[in-house]
Amino acid sequence: MAEVEADARFRVPPALSDENRSFWTSGAEGTLRFLRCQACGYYLHPPSPRCPNCGGTELVPEGVSGRGTIHSFTVNHQAWDGDDTPYAIVLVEMPEQVGLRLTSNLVGCPLDEVHIGLPVRVVFEHRGDVWFPLFERDEP
Amino acid sequence: MTDFERRSIISGIGQSAVGRRLGRTGIDLTIESALAAVADAGLDLTDIDGLASYPGAGIGGEGFTGPGTPEVQDALRLNLNWHSGGLEGAAQIAAVINAVMAVGAGLARHVLVYRTVTESTEQGSGGRAGIGVGSGDAGVATKGIGGPFQWSIPFRAYSAANWLAMSAQRHFHEFGTTPDQLAMIALNARRNAGRNPNAIYRDPMTLADYHASRMISSPFHLFDCDAPVDGSTALVVSRVEHASALDHPAVGVEAMGTALRGRPSWDQFDDMTTMAARDAGAQLWTRTDLTPADVDVAELYDGFSFLTMVWLEALGFCGKGESGPFIEGGGRIALEGELPVNTHGGQHSAGRLHGFGHIHEACVQLRGEGGERQVGGSVEVAAVANGGGPIAGAMLLTRHR
């Protein structure tokens, strides 16, 4: 999976902690990772110390395919951070588990072509200590 | 079914001046609304033994929070048997629900409840801030954001406008809801505001005006977003025995809805087209013999227009996914329609009093004091709902007999 050039002038970074670091740095190896319960296979997002599905506590970051589908989206026009260039905010659902979703940005896609159901794949935008998982159209 | 709610009434209501950039402090506005509500309830400040607010101080800018309960208690020198302020709970209306619980439990006899905002003055001439990038959030931009907002803010999804736009977009996709249907919420609010002398925006708005307003976050135009104002709303929740002492009809508390059964998250909730309103709305009807058909007027939160559609479905005024056709053309939800909605102009046109404008208006309508905007016939039952996304609370109020 590729790294992409920064598409935004500015991003508020996450505050890294022992709990979330595996997620926010997983792009360093080019893989999107979620915490996964080793007892029942459930993916936990956001990270949590106990599997809410089975109660398991052996939780390990595991890579997923990085492919997903746009569950919903919005094209933002308001210059919240001072940048008035419109951009797409997307809610991507992963095929690995029903309801396993990420809010992210769709990059490299004309804004009038964004739609629910669009297949996408992860790309990483690296800034400082963080690899932001963004998505691009998954060309067949 | 329980009689718990029916141990309480709303005995008094009060509202301060409401407007854009009033330049007055939150405590000043709160004292104005509180004194009005206490007097309306036929009480003196020495009678008030409970105090509740949403969200309480210290969890955001002062323009958003208003004064905390200790500040108000001290300013009014209240002697309290019970007090509560907090952000977490069944949306803004949780402050009223908490007061009803305190009265029902016998912890207090007369609870003053208020919600105060000075967001218009705080915003000044600048634009509306998003989380993490507002003037008070400079530290977040450099040190990083933790907690639940780390899953949205780094992707420049800074505002509930963005999060709820995705909820609306999903509704459009699943049910064929159209932009012209969504527009009816804003148009209805503006039409009603034209009959409310205290509303902020009263000039007529056409469908063309709506579509011409700039896009904020698709499908939300500017006119799908509420208008920040300064203002304070207060009410008094009293034991039901106080009803006979009033010189106006008491507002009865019939039922409350506080449930939250899906994941409390803006993007992990199982059904993005409804979210927490579904649970609070369904629970409300388990606590009363009344049904949606009994409701004469509905004051449904409209921080973003789409949320009113969510509440129409969640409270069972129409079927799941059917709010678009239900409001098509706007006739059904107009003042003269079968279910008048947001009769004061909602937060779009009467100002973002953050849920409490809706509660106040439900009481006004039940008391028959709506003036030019009073719904015709006898208003016996009002539904009022607050919140959106993973935050929701609702109440069913009646004209007390």
CA atoms within 13 A on the CB side of A124: 21
Instruction: Provide the pLDDT for residue B361.
Output: 98
Decide if pLDDT at A98 tops 90.
Answer: yes
At B173, list the tokens: 């996709």
Indicate the residue of B150, B152, B159 with minimum beta-carbon distance to A15: B150
% of chain B surpassing 70 pLDDT: 98
Phi, psi at B145, each rounded to 5°: -115, 135
Q: Considering only CB atoms, which chain B residues are within 8 Å of A120?
A: none
Q: Does the beta-carbon distance from A72 to B159 stay under 8 Å? A: no
Q: Which helix (H) or strand (E) holds A85?
A: none
pLDDT above 70 (res A127) = yes
Task: Reply yes or no on whether the pLDDT at B300 is more than 80.
Answer: yes
> Per-residue pLDDT averaged across B63-67, rounded?
95
CB contact under 8 A, A81 and B133: yes
Q: Which residue has the tokens 């036929």?
A: B42
Helix (H, G, I), strand (E, B) or coil at B334: coil
The whole-number average pLDDT for the span B272-277 is: 97
Q: What is the pLDDT of residue B27?
A: 98
pTM of the model: 0.97
Task: State the count of interchain CB pairs (< 8 A) between A and B.
Answer: 120
Work out the minimum CA distance from A139 to partner chain B, whole angstroms: 22
Q: What is the pLDDT of residue B269?
A: 97
B170: nearest CA in chain A? A72
Which of B145, B173, B220 comes nearest A15 by C-beta? B145
**CA of A14, closest CA in chain B: separation in Å?**
5
* pLDDT above 80: residue B399: yes
pLDDT of B127 over the 80 cut: no
- How is residue A115 written in tokens? 């739609």
Query: Does the structure show a pLDDT above 70 at B19?
Result: yes
- Which residues partner with B236 through β-bridges? B12, B112
Q: Which of B128, B145, B150, B273 to mutate to test the interface with A (most CBs of A within 10 A)?
A: B150
Residue of B nearest to A105 (CA): B155
CB A91 within 8 A of CB A123: no
Instruction: Give one DSSP letter per residue of B241-295, joined into a string.
Output: GGGGG-SSPPEEEEEEE----S-SSTTT-S-TTTTTHHHHHHHHHTT-S--GGG-
Q: Degrees (nearest 5) of the Cα angle B151, B154, B159?
A: 80
Q: How confident is the model over B5-17, as a mean pLDDT?
A: 97
Phi, psi of B322 (to 5 degrees): -100, 10
Residue A1 has pLDDT above 60, yes or no: no
* Residues B190-249: tens digit of each pLDDT: 999 999 999 999 999 999 999 999 999 999 999 999 999 999 999 999 999 999 999 999
pLDDT confidence band for B123 (50 / 70 / 90): confident
Q: What tens digit of pLDDT does each residue of B139-189 get?
A: 676 789 999 999 999 999 999 999 999 999 999 999 999 999 999 999 999
**Mean confidence (pLDDT) of chain A:** 95
Residue-level pLDDT at A50: 98
Measured between CB atoms, which of A10, A13, A101 is closest to B144? A13
Digit-coded pLDDT (tens) for B324-346: 999 999 999 999 999 999 999 99
In the structure, what pLDDT confidence band is assigned to residue B137 with cuts at 50, 70 and 90?
A: low
Give the closest-approach CA distance of B261 to chain A in angstroms: 14
Query: What would the DSSP string read from start to end of A113-130?
Result: G--TT-EEEEEEEEETTE
What percent of chain B clears pLDDT 90, i.e. is strictly above it?
A: 92
**Mean pLDDT of the B103-132 span:** 89
The answer, yes or no, to whether residue B307 has pLDDT greater than 70, is: yes
B44 DSSP assignment: -
CA distance B83 to B280: 24
Residue B271: closest C-alpha in chain A: A99
Residue-wise pLDDT tens digits, B192-203: 999 999 999 999
Mean pLDDT, rounded, of chain B: 95
Q: Return the pLDDT at B134.
A: 60
Q: Give A-chain residues touching B151 at CB under 8 angstroms.
A: 46, 102-103
Residues of A in contact with B272 (CB under 8 A): 71-72, 91
Q: Report whether pLDDT(A108) > 80.
A: yes
Q: Is A81's CB within 8 Å of B148's CB?
A: no
Which residue, chain included where needed, has tokens 């007055």? B24
Say yes or no to pLDDT of B1 above 90.
no
**Inter-chain CB proximity A46 and B151 less than 8 Å:** yes
Identify the structural domains of chain B with CATH numbers, from first to last: 5-123+228-245 (3.40.47.10)
Classified as helix, coil or strand, B162 is helix
Q: How far is CA B357 from CA B89, B118, B198, B344, B350, in A?
A: 19, 14, 11, 8, 8
Residue A12 one-letter amino acid: V
Q: What is the pLDDT of residue B371?
A: 98
Q: What ipTM did this prediction achieve?
A: 0.97
Contacts of B129 in chain A (CB under 8 A): 80
**Which residues on neighbouring strands pair with residue B298, listed in sequence order?**
B341, B383
Chain A residues with CB-CB distance to B162 below 8 A: 74, 76, 89
The values of phi and psi at residue B169, to 5°, are -60, -40
CB neighbour list of residue A60: distance below 8 Å, 6 or more residues apart: A35, A36, A38
pLDDT at site B360: 98
- Tell me the C-alpha distance between B364 and B344, whole Å: 10
Segment A119-135 shows an average pLDDT of 97
Report residue A6's pLDDT band, with 50, 70 and 90 as the boundaries: confident
Residue with tokens 């999903």: B170
- pLDDT tens, A27-47? 999 999 999 999 999 999 999
Per-residue pLDDT at A43:
98
pLDDT at residue A139, rounded to an integer: 80
